[in-house]
Amino acid sequence: MGVSPVVEDGRFPAKALPGESIRVGATVFREGHDALGVTAVLYDPQGTEAERVPMVLTTPGTDRYEAWLTPTSEGAWTFAVEGWGDLYETWRHAAEIKVGVGQDVELMMAEGVVLFDRAAAEPGRPDSDVELFRSASRALGNQELPAEHRLEAGTSAEVLAAVAERPLRDLVTESRRYPLKVERTAAGRGSWYEFFPRSEGAVLDPETGTWTSGNFRTASERLEAVAGMGFDVVYLPPIHPIGRAHRKGPNNTLVAGPQDPGSPWAIGAPEGGHDTIHPDLGTFEDFDGFVARAADLGLEVALDLALQASPDHPWVTAHPEWFTTRADGSIAYAENPPKKYQDIYPINFDNDPEGLSLEVLRIVELWISHGVKIFRVDNPHTKPLWFWEWLIGTVNAKHPEVVFLAEAFTRPAMMQGLARVGFQQSYSYFTWRNTKKEIEEYLHEVSHETSAVYRPNFFVNTPDILTEYLQFGGPAAFRIRAVLAATGSPLWGVYSGYELFEHVARQGAEEYVDNEKYQFRPRDFAGAEERGESLAPYLTRLNEIRRRHASLGDLQNLTVQSTSDDALVAYTKTKTVRHGGSAYKDTIIVVVNVDPHATREGTVWLDLESLNLDDADFNEDGSFWVDDLLSGHSWKWGTHNYVRLDPHHDPAHVLHIRRNVK
């Protein structure tokens, strides 16, 4: 009972990635005092058993067992839990007690003979096991030997290893098989970088005040730097024609001048709508060249899918039923009181759900045909869940490689609902979790409580979100948030300008002043690096660490550790990586001072069991070596560890445990 990860009794599949270790849990018990064995079993998309792992009791007295399963490829996998009577452990436990006190000695020996004879006769047993069990049976039945020697033959290390590899099982009970959808790596791992193509290469004529927009050709020149920082995905806001009606001016003012480009999210103009490229950005040929250049650099292009329209969108004339009409006959514009978006009409699925759904599918298929395999969906929580389940299911049935990111900052139930119906990943509450308590609770939540379906993308900032923490925390705040995002989740993202420490907000708002949503904003990235005023090298190092350490690529393996200071956050990630016939363990310890203004010091207490250490990992004094992947320093650590972190110098440790030191 209580099998996990199971979503609504299997109606929706739990999610995984190739090579991702998935925590399987179950509550298993039986009557009486006989020993119980529990196993987690993984089946590949063809229904063939792929992995079988013993489950371990998490806490005595709880009957709760856990194990880790690791699918190796994409597809519709399943898993099950088996409970069974452990014949060997039942006999061994009783025999050691009774023989130790001289009670029922010959009876226990006779029962051992029966047990090992049965085990030796099991079909498929390796010859080495058969000979080992027959030898144990002969020794147990030899009354000329001392009792303790006979018992040793049945409880030797060789016997224990053989029955651990293939247990002696009885009364096997199997749960039903539960679905596990294994999607491509980009669905759950990746580093995102957002920029506006129109700003890259934009030029202002100081004499006339006239702007020349950047385009896909000039924006392509930025791709090499993005790839050089180690990002995997370059995300573009909408690239479609922008409406003129009610166009917003600088800083969201209601009146736009002739040179104001408007918000890209006010989609649609006489030139076209969602299936058209803004003329200033170029042609489809230019876009294809941009996508190809990104691919050459190892980048994927994510495109914004914003299901809304400007008053000038062709839909407004051709399909007014796709919008909400007010009592006075006007079409309702978008509102999030007190915010008003007069330049945007939300769409309404109530009047013509089939026609509107097919039109959106057509648009998505169009951009897929131009090389887009990732869509960042704007405000999906304002559309019906049935639509997303249909759209994502339909698209993925034909294009399983396509990934949808939900840009949903809304109620937890809706965010979970979007994940259930198919969104592979989502924006998250990470942006607003800044104190030690908030961070620890949220890291535990996303890695342990919601990880069956919800994959959080830890964006550090967006064009809409510039938190007070970044506004007033100085450069240290930017480093701190980057470390937390890059190591706390397998998915993280950065909006352009973060590496320049852009932190000035529009008065009374949680967004940037001179917001790029409403104006051109070219940046001097190279100059900032030359002056040593760029965070780009730090972001590059974080992405290098992510690529080299497999433990950071999983979501469910995070353990929050204890610290003595109210601004020190510590957590660990451990993963056993199997490649061919070999395996190695990768463990990262992250310690962050979340106070961007003051040096903090204190003790980090580590739960050594969560680190999965072997005897060979310890030094003679009981310590183990850790190497700081940010600073290059090394220390001996153990259960209790002193740390001192100056946010203006080194606000964080990202430590790697050195294995097999002996």
CATH number for position 206:
3.20.20.80
Same domain, 509 and 561: no
Structure tokens at 337: 């009181």
For 631, the domain range is 551-657
Check: CB of residue 77 under 8 Å from CB of residue 45. Answer: yes
Q: How far are the Cα atoms of 266, 524, 547, 643, 652 from residue 636, in angstroms, in the given order? A: 56, 42, 25, 12, 17
Long-range contacts of 185-188 (CB under 8 A, 24+ apart): 185/17, 185/18, 186/232, 186/233, 186/300, 186/373, 186/374, 186/403, 187/15, 187/17, 187/403, 187/424, 187/425, 187/455, 188/15, 188/17, 188/20, 188/424, 188/425, 188/455, 188/490, 188/491, 188/555
Q: How far apart are CA 479 and CA 472, in angstroms?
A: 13
Band (579; pLDDT cuts 50, 70, 90): confident
Q: Is 530 exposed, middle or buried (0-12, 13-18, 19+ CB in 10 A)?
A: exposed
Read out DSSP for 645-660? E-TTT--EEEEEEPP-
Return the pLDDT at 581: 76
Asked whether 436 and 569 are in contact (CB, 8 A), the reply is yes
Band (65; pLDDT cuts 50, 70, 90): very high
CATH of the domain at 648: 2.60.40.1180
Residue 545 lies in a domain: no
**Rounded Cα–Cα distance for residues 124 and 102 (Å):** 36
Q: Could you tell me the pTM of the whole model?
A: 0.95
- Rounded to an integer, what distance in angstroms lies between the CA atom of residue 518 and that of residue 503? 17
Given pLDDT bands bounded at 50, 70 and 90, which one contains residue 337? confident
Q: What's the chain's Rg over C-alpha atoms?
A: 30
Q: Are residues 145 and 40 in the same domain?
A: yes
Task: Assign 510 a pLDDT band (cuts: 50, 70, 90).
Answer: very high
**Domain contains 465:** yes
- The reply to whether 63 falls in a domain is yes
Comparing 39-48, 329-338, 551-560, the range with the smallest average pLDDT is 329-338
The answer on 137 and 213 residing in a single domain is no
Amino acid at 165: E
Please identify, among 182, 210, 231, the residue that sits at the C-terminal boundary of a domain: 182
Q: Residue-wise over 548-565: b if at least 16 C-beta within 10 A, else e?
A: ebbbbbbbbbbbbbebeb
- CA–CA dist 552, 558 (Å, integer): 9
Residues 143 and 206 in one domain: no
Query: 242-251: per-residue pLDDT in tens?
Result: 999 999 999 9
Clarify whether residues 524 and 429 are in a common domain. Answer: yes
Residues 263 and 174 in one domain: no
**Please, what is the end-to-end C-alpha distance for the chain in angstroms?**
43
Q: Specify the pLDDT at position 582.
A: 86
SS3 174: strand
- Residues 505-532: what's their mean pLDDT? 95
Q: Is residue 353 part of a domain?
A: yes
Residues 646 and 520 both lie in one domain: no
Phi, psi of 309 (to 5 degrees): -145, 150
**CATH number of the domain enclosing 143:** 2.60.40.10
What is the model's pLDDT at position 662?
Answer: 75
Q: Residue 617 corresponds to which amino acid?
A: D
d(CA 50, CA 315): 50
Residue 1 lies in a domain: no
Beta carbons of 68 and 23 less than 8 angstroms apart: yes
The SS3 call for residue 602 is: strand
Q: What is the pLDDT of residue 512?
A: 96
Output the known binding site.
248, 308, 343, 379, 517-518
Between helix 147-154 and helix 127-141 the angle, nearest 10°, is 160
List, in sequence order, the alpha helices (H) in 39-126.
87-100, 105-120
Can you tell me the distance from the alpha carbon of 578 to that of 351, in angstroms, rounded to the nearest whole number?
Answer: 53
Are 166 and 234 members of one domain?
Answer: no
For residue 494, give the 3-state DSSP assignment.
strand
Catalytic residue among 407, 499, 502, 565: 407
**Whether 431 and 578 share a structural domain:** no
Other CB atoms within a 10 A radius of the CB of residue 458 amount to 26
Q: Give the model confidence (pLDDT) of 257-276 as tens digits.
A: 999 999 999 999 999 999 99
The domain boundary residue, chosen from 160, 182, 204: 182
How high is the pLDDT of residue 580?
76
Dihedrals phi, psi of 57, to nearest 5 degrees: -65, 125
Q: Binding-site residues for alpha-maltose 1-phosphate, please?
A: 248, 308, 343, 379, 517-518
Please indicate, yes or no, if residue 541 is contained in any of the structural domains: no
**Domain boundary pick from 115, 147, 182:** 182
**Judgement on whether residues 134 and 272 belong to the same structural domain of the protein:** no
Residue 403: inside a domain: yes
Percent of the chain residues past pLDDT 70, beyond the cut: 100
Q: Is the pLDDT of residue 338 over 80?
A: no
Total number of domains in the chain: 3
Burial profile 607-619: b = 16 or more Cβ within 10 angstroms, e = fewer: eeebbbbeeebbe
Q: What is the mean pLDDT of the chain?
A: 96
Q: Please, are residues 372 and 301 in contact by the beta-carbon 8 Å criterion? A: yes
- At 452 the pLDDT is 97
Instruction: Report yes or no on 488 lying in a domain.
Output: no
The DSSP letter of residue 456 is E
Pairing mode of beta strands 22-27, 36-43: unpaired
Residue 165 burial (C-beta neighbours within 10 Å; 0-12, 13-18, 19+):
exposed
Q: Residue 212: which of 221, 227, 199, 230 has the closest Cα?
A: 199
Task: Reply yes or no on whether the pLDDT at 340 is more than 90.
Answer: no
In contact, 259 and 211? CB cutoff 8 Å: yes
SS3 for 620-647, per residue?
CCCCEEEEECCCCCEEEECCEEEEEECC
Q: Active site includes 378?
A: yes
Give the model confidence (pLDDT) of 214-225 as tens digits. 999 999 999 999
Both 305 and 407 in a single domain? yes
pLDDT in tens, 371-383: 999 999 999 999 9
Tokens of 474: 């100085």
Confidence of residue 578 (pLDDT cuts 50, 70, 90): confident
DSSP lists the bridge partners of residue 640 as: 605
Catalytic residue among 20, 86, 300, 378: 378
User: Do residues 525 and 395 share a domain?
Assistant: yes
DSSP letter for 129, please.
H
Maximum C-alpha span of the chain: 109
Q: Read off the pLDDT band of 508 (50, 70, 90).
A: confident
